Structure 1
Amino acid sequence: MKSAVLLVAMLAVVGTCQVSVAAAPCDKPVYLTFDTGHMGVAPLVAEVLQRQQVKVTFFLADEKTLTGGSSLDAQWAPWWKARAAEGHVFGSHTLDHVYWRADRPGGRFEMRPSAGPQAGRSREMDGAAYCAELDRSARRFTEMTGQHMAPLFRAPGGRTSPALLAAAQACGWQHVGWAPAGFLGDELPSDRYPNAQLLQRALRDIRAGDILVAHLGIWSRQDPWAPAVLEPLIVGLKQRGLCFATLAEHPTYRAAVQSGSKP
């Protein structure tokens, strides 16, 4: 009888501990973000995030995929809808992955998309046109998921100017960069930056508060980053006492995410 009582008490303690661990706040967060890419590693990324119970922020552009479609087409819509249902956060990466190249007179910008019908062709855009490009990604996200995008964006390549950021801010978009240590290197050539080296560097240098950036597939990298590095990185950072949060919890972006959505 005493043994049974002791067993019940032990189970009660275990149950309490489990609840306590699950409810523990994320007091040393890092913010993992993914930009779109050729989507070849997207299923793996989703699997790892689910297994590790990590929420991230995705930045969406409609880029060419390995299967000949694009990252926001009908084939990928169910994938994005599933990620939205899991509670990740989403921002714009411009629909046609439009790179800023230079400021021009009269509040205009020289831009060059790497996707879409004008891929590879430079053209000038004013602030309103750039905002419309950001909005196009948000509308496509809503079409795919039924949810709304956060008013956050990442310029392709991180290339911006103060004038471009001001134009985006004027129409309600806030830019998100990344920490120096948070550049995970998945777009670097793998012969010079092997996965083991990138993992070691990230585990050594990343600190609480850092925004991390990776991609859902990089065309130029021969040895894909995500299969070798993503899960060991997450596990290793957790072992260092760090935890993962979305940009909805970041002190710089929290208010913007809570105050509005796009489109």
Structure 2
Amino acid sequence: MTDLKLYAVFAETVAAGSMSAAARRLGMTPSAVSQAIRTLERETGVTLLHRSTRKLTLTDAGARCLPHCRRMLDAAGAAGDALAQARDAPVGELRIAAPVGFGAHIAPALAPVLAAWPQLRLQLLLDDAMIDLVDARIDIALRAGTLPDSDWVARPLGRFEIILCAAPVYIEAHGMPQTAEDLAAHHWLASPREHDSGARIVCNNQLTLQQLCEQGLGLARLAHADAAPALARGLLVRVLPGVPLPALPVTALTPGRSGDPAKTRVALDALRRHFAALPGCLSG
């Protein structure tokens, strides 16, 4: 395939009117410009320019080729403008993948961003299964817990405080545990990652797990940030608040190590601010 740069040098030479002027525009030497055009003529088998000591004149072949070269340069300029816009302004489609339970946090976090940048579109993929981030062309993936090794860049958003909760109706029926030893006598609701073989109900969806807990079916370990509204409404109560549980790290994954487009940068900033303000979200 012919080097496209040769066509660009030809078009700039015609536009500048001389090889020396084209050389100044392109940051090349006049001899390098002349060599580029000779190479293009040799590779295509046609003469593009008649050269004289005073001026350059297009041949018929050169005249037919020139409009295509100009369109190529225009397209290259448009491509550069599009990349600059992607770098400097949040535009286009932002694709975010997250567990279902994170939907309640993503919406309020990104609403101000979407309102401020009307040319930004959001494609939100909520799935508790690990979707293929490359195939789905994901810009940001939110993950909770320990991450497997990957080439994606991990950006910590915080750590969710985990608390033990139950519904008032459950406590009324089974009593409030007073010590950690009392917990063995109670029904448990758990996620698969907790590997709780003694759980009465195991569910891989954290939102559904909390709903089951609110219905009085047992005790559940919940993120304080998720349970806070139910606690405020009296749908849940804390159990053994003095017993700390391991915090759950929350991470944003992005595919690139540098040069994030503006849409990714503003979304990450908005997510960081939102998670930092959540009840029980610890820094680091």
**TM class by shorter-chain length?**
0.3 to 0.5
Q: Which has the higher helix share?
A: 2
Q: Which has the bigger relative contact order, CA under 8 A and spacing at least 6?
A: 1
TM-score, normalised with respect to structure 1? 0.32
Greater CA radius of gyration, 1 or 2?
Answer: 2
Normalised by the size of structure 2, how large is the TM-score? 0.31
Q: Which protein is richer in strand relative to its size? A: 2
